[in-house]
Structure 1
Amino acid sequence: MGYEPKTKATDVDVDAFIAGSPKPADGAVVCALMRKVSGIEPRMWGPTLVGFGEREYDLAGGKKGRILAMGFSPRTASLVFYIKHATGWDERLARLGKHRTGKGCLYINKLADVDAGVLEEMVAAAWATTARV
């Protein structure tokens, strides 16, 4: 049996998901920002990830997988950003405002805690340097 990814694109309505999420207002703002930066419409990836574009990644045994190129999830505790750490990442983080980072993720409790311009710079830089398929 072949590899079956846990997280894959679905046909769930993105705007309806965001409206029913724990952070609907912030989620709508982030979605609009990512739509503007990417120039494309989002898709749901799994039950809770709003994704823009697709990229390939390497799997064991020389196989390839596909995942969202950039995205976010409006969770109860925080907004989780799945964006590439582009050149200037650390410098932008220093100017961003209140946030946390984890393995490959950026966590922001609420958008009011951060500088919207810096967040847009981070999203734009991530999108520009993400290889998409």
Structure 2
Amino acid sequence: MRPTGGSVASFLTGVTPAKRRRDAEALTALLQEVSGREPELWGTIVGLGSCHYRYPTGTEGDMPLLAFAPRKAASTLYLESTAAHADDLARLGPHSTGVGCLYIKDLEEIDLDVLRGILTASLRWAESGGDEHAVLTVTG
């Protein structure tokens, strides 16, 4: 995966429904605050920073350090693992999870300080090089 060079502002303008667009704009600002990086489009994903990953299996590629995708059903935030944030997720507010995805239907219903902590921890994990499951090298 690589940045596609599209306009983040134009992409966000086209997000529907209106609540998801509102959340996407707020998430973009929050991820910028946490990472100190500018958002880029990676297809339909808004990513900040970049890294190269390599799994013990030899699979490797590139991905954003922090990222989210505004989908119709929910905003999807991409994390290294939701299990790593179990205690914080219990305090977050209404959400659902996948192995590495956090799904939020309404940003106004969650605790933004808790979300900020989760994102900060996820960024630190990536910037520190990952772990035995994925070795990461920050590239941007």
Task: Please say whether Structure 1 and Structure 2 have the same fold, judged by a TM-score greater than 0.5.
Answer: yes
State the Cα deviation string for residues 22-60 of structure 1 (Å, max 9, x = none). Answer: 2211100000000011101011011x1000111112268
Give 1:111's aligned residue: 107
TM-score, with length taken from structure 1: 0.85
Displacement of 1:64 after TM fit?
A: 3.1
CA RMSD of aligned residues (A): 2.0
**Structure 1 residues 55-64 or 98-107, which shifts more?**
55-64
Aligned residue pair count = 126
Q: Does 1:36 align with 2:30?
A: no
**Structure 1 residues 118-127 or 86-95, which shifts more?**
86-95
Give 1:21's aligned residue: 15
Alignment of 1:96-107 (within 5 A): 96-107=92-103
2:11 aligned counterpart, secondary structure: helix
Identical-residue share of aligned pairs (%): 35
Q: 5+ unaligned residues in a row in structure 1: which ranges? A: 1-6
Letter in 2 for 1:56: H
**Structure 1 residues 50-59 or 9-18, which shifts more?**
50-59
| Structure 2 CA distance for aligned equivalents of residues 54 and 108 of structure 1 | 23
Give 1:76's aligned residue: 72
Letter in 1 for 2:29: A
State the Cα deviation string for residues 8-29 of structure 1 (Å, max 9, x = none). Answer: 2111001111121122111000
TM-score, with length taken from structure 2: 0.81
| Structure 2 CA distance for aligned equivalents of residues 79 and 86 of structure 1 | 15
Of 48, 51, 56, the match for 1:52: 48
